[in-house]
Amino acid sequence: MNLPKIPLGDWVDELVKWVTVAFAGFFSFVTTVIEGLLDLVVDVLSAGPPIILIIVLTLLVIYTSRWPLGIFALLSLLLIDNLGYWESSIQTIAIVLLSGLLTIIVGIPVGIWCAQRKTVHRIVTPLLDFMQTMPAFVYLIPSILFFGIGVVPGIIASFIFAIAPTIRMTNLGIQEVPKDLIEAADAFGSSNSQKLFKVQLPIATPTIMAGVNQSIMLALSMVVTASLVGAPGLGADVYRAVSQIDVGRGFEAGLSIVFIAVILDRITQNLRKPAYETVIKKKIVFLILAVLVIVTAVVTGMTKETTKDKGGNRIGAETDFQIIGIEPGAGIMAQTHQAMKDYQLDDWQLQEGSSAAMAAEMKKAYNQKKPIIVTGWAPHWMFSTYDLKFLEDPNQSFGEVEDIHTIVRKGLEQDAPGAYTILDQFTWKPKDIEKMMVDIKGGTDPSQAADQWIKANTDKVAQWIKGAPSGSGQTINLVYVAWDTEIASTNVIAKVLEQNGFKVKLSQVEVGPMFAGVANGSVDGMVAGWLPSTHKEYYDQYKEDFVDLGPNLHGTRNGLVVPSYMDIHSIEDLK
């Protein structure tokens, strides 16, 4: 059938664009509120030394779930602290508590409403199905545009993903209240609200609590996903470990998540019927807890006002002392950390996320002429789309002008000499790759953009394939990271290989896995090694195990990038 493609994606794009602008005020309000709340929760949780919270949590676990589990909680929390994941854990607990709280505030009323009105139920059920089945990643995309990079889009996405069980179980719990009880309540002439609060809700509580428990667990399962857009905590530790293939750290952070999951799960599961309820009344425990929380909140709130002032850097005040970064494993992230040391930017924070999220932030700030600092590199389409500048780097923390190298696995030369030769001869100029990046940015599919570029540059391509025996349909596996530069280069070289008798499989991975994959021979090659400095660590780690075919492009640059309208010139100005 030759029907034109329905522009569903374009419509969604347009809608999101419209919503972003129309509700800008509302979104920034929500962002401020959620960030403020989260700060408060984090401050309260980290008010004293870790041991205090460890003891409080342990006591809570003992109270709800008996002492053997309490011992487990104590040991696992001490281990988390010992391994150095305490701060991350607090971030994670705070994020989960906050999304949990939001699901309760919104979910229970909606669930009650569903139970009371058939029509509402009929509308909400398919919506919930949709929300739960749509991959949670997808919510992150508009969330970044609405709420910016950081913890807020993560919380919102977790909330959407996690709310379904609370609504469903509240509805179910109320539906399941025996008919005769309702009739009895009616017979005694109770009003609707009396019926709800005195009969239905109390009977439905176990079911509702089961729903809340599931929601909290789902929110916890989102922490790694949320870290892709910059949410801090254990999820970010896991993501960093993946990005740098650091098995040990990944395991430690993962284990911490498991411990926290068990503790939160048991507390919420048994909260309704605590194991030692006969010893101390539930009300008293809640009261103590509430007083404790409120007192700490007030005290930290008062002391914070005085410590909050971070010194007088003007740009810092405008940008909240944030530098918007990209994938945690990227070389430029390590360089930025180095720069922050070299220039003593102690007040500043480098936000982790992804290249796409960074670009989205830049777009948002640029359209509103707001100040923003990102980790940036050239060649990049951003420089032709926006008016941007690199901050001067007198200390050379970001190294000099660099090359991008092609790196292949050992043995490729024997196994696929044609592909090897083509990869070896592949070389082009910054303006070539820029042209392609702009096309891709403008909406052209990367493989189509590659086609167009190849058609327009036959002479260059002829140089690459000179003397290369054509393939006989062997598959060549190429890996790349979703940086705009590498999306362009990888697609071009893939097309050229395909035109010369190879089948090409492209896999998008994180930085560490990209180097490791070529080194252990599980993939054939990549064209994305930024050297000598950006990827030095990865290069040095694996250099014995792969073949470096040298530069395919000369003249790249990394650094901190700001819009030209910002009145700042050098990284030194951030001090």
Record the tokens describing residue 430, joined without a space: 């910054």
215 by DSSP, 3-state: which? helix
Cβ 7 to ligand PBE shortest distance, Å = 31
Query: Whose CB is nearest to ligand PBE?
Result: 332
Which residue, 468 or 511, has its beta carbon nearer to ligand PBE? 511
Q: Taking the complex as a whole, how short is the minimal distance between the CB of residue 441 and ligand PBE, in angstroms?
A: 15
Distance CA 365, CA 518 (A): 38
For the segment 365-404, give every residue that binds ligand PBE (CB under 6 A). Answer: 377
* Contact set for ligand PBE, span 268-327 (CB under 6 A): 326
By residue count, the chain amounts to: 575
- Nearer residue to ligand PBE within complex by CB, 383 or 483: 483
Q: Which of residues 106-145 bind ligand PBE (CB under 6 A)?
A: none
**Torsion sign (Cα): 407, 411, 412, 414:** positive
Query: How far is the CA of 210 from the CAs of 113, 341, 452, in angstroms?
Result: 18, 48, 56
Q: Which is nearer to ligand PBE, 207 or 375 (CB)?
A: 375
Q: How far is the CB of 327 from ligand PBE (least distance, A)?
A: 8
> What sections of 222-372 are H helices per DSSP?
223-227, 234-243, 247-270, 282-307, 314-319, 331-342, 355-367
Query: How near is the Cβ of 388 to ligand PBE at its closest, in Å?
Result: 15
Distance, CA of 127 to CA of 558 (rounded, Å): 45
Could you tell me whether strands 475-480 and 503-508 are parallel, antiparallel, or unpaired per DSSP bridges? parallel
Least CB distance from residue 254 to ligand PBE, whole Å? 24
Least distance in angstroms from the C-beta of 331 to ligand PBE: 3
Exposed, middle or buried: residue 113 (CB in 10 Å: 0-12, 13-18, 19+)? middle
Instruction: Count the neighbouring beta carbons within 10 Å of the beta carbon of residue 90.
Output: 23
- Considering only residues 320 through 339, tell me which ones interact with ligand PBE, judged by CB under 6 A: 326, 330-332
| Nearest distance in Å: CB 483, ligand PBE | 4
- Which one of 381, 483, 515, 539 is in contact with ligand PBE (CB under 6 A)? 483
R_g (Cα) of the chain, nearest Å: 28
Backbone angles phi, psi at 56, to 5 degrees: -60, -50
Cα gap 574→516, rounded to integer Å: 36
Pick between residue 110 and residue 560 the one whose CB is nearest to ligand PBE.
Answer: 560
Closer by beta carbon to ligand PBE, 345 or else 356: 356
> Measured from the CB atom, is 330 or 492 closer to ligand PBE?
330
**Residue number, 143 or 485, with CB nearest to ligand PBE:** 485
- Return the number of the residue (375 or 500) whose C-beta is nearest ligand PBE: 375
Which of 530, 533, 560, 566 binds ligand PBE (CB under 6 A)? It is 530
Any contact of residue 485 with ligand PBE (CB under 6 A)?
Answer: yes
Q: How far is the CB of 375 from ligand PBE (least distance, A)?
A: 7
What is the smallest separation between the CB atom of 430 and ligand PBE, expressed in angstroms? 13
If the CB atoms of residues 485 and 491 are measured against ligand PBE, the closer one turns out to be 485
* 265 token code pair: 């799960």
Q: Given the rule CB under 6 A, which of 12-20, 192-200, 499-507, 527-535 is the region that contacts ligand PBE? A: 527-535
Count the helix, strand and coil residues of the chain and give each as a percent rounded to the nearest 5.
Answer: 65, 10, 25
Maximum pairwise Cα distance, the chain: 95
For ligand PBE, the closer CB: 32 or 396: 396
CA distance 523 to 345: 40
Q: Which is nearer to ligand PBE, 88 or 355 (CB)?
A: 355
Q: Smallest distance, Å, CB 13 to ligand PBE?
A: 25
Applying CB under 6 A, what is the total number of residues that bind ligand PBE? 12
Residue among 200 and 533 whose Cβ is closer to ligand PBE = 533
360/358 Cα distance (integer angstroms): 5
Q: Which of residues 497-516 bind ligand PBE (CB under 6 A)?
A: 511
Contacts of range 451-460, beta carbons closer than 8 Å, 24 or more positions apart: 451/495, 453/492, 454/492, 454/495, 454/496, 454/499, 457/432, 460/428, 460/432
List b or e across 136-160, with b for residues whose CB sees 16 or more CB atoms inside 10 angstroms. beebbbbbbbbbbbbbbbbbbbbbb
Shortest distance (Å) from residue 200 CB to ligand PBE? 56
* Least CB distance to ligand PBE at residue 246 (A): 16
What residues from 36 to 65 belong to the interface with ligand PBE (CB under 6 A)? none
Figure out which of the listed residues 268, 300, 351, 534 binds ligand PBE, where binding follows CB under 6 A: 534
In the complex, minimum distance from the CB of residue 557 to ligand PBE, in angstroms, rounded to a whole number: 9
Beta-bridge mates of residue 507? 479
DSSP for residue 271: S
* Whether 327 contacts 243, CB under 8 Å: yes
Closest distance to ligand PBE from the beta carbon of 228 (Å):
15
- Cα torsion at 186, 190, 194, 196 (round to 10°)? 10
With CB under 6 A as the contact rule, which of the stretches 272-280, 303-311, 419-427, 530-538 interacts with ligand PBE? 530-538
Stretch that binds ligand PBE, among 22-30, 99-107, 254-262, 529-537 (CB under 6 A): 529-537
Nearer to ligand PBE, 330 or 345 (CB): 330
> Which positions from 554 to 573 touch ligand PBE by CB under 6 A, shown as an x/- string?
----x---------------
Of residues 357, 355, 96, 359, the one with CA closest to residue 235 = 96
CB-nearer residue toward ligand PBE: 214 or 243: 243
Question: Given the rule CB under 6 A, which residues bind ligand PBE?
Answer: 326, 330-332, 377, 483, 485, 511, 530, 534-535, 558
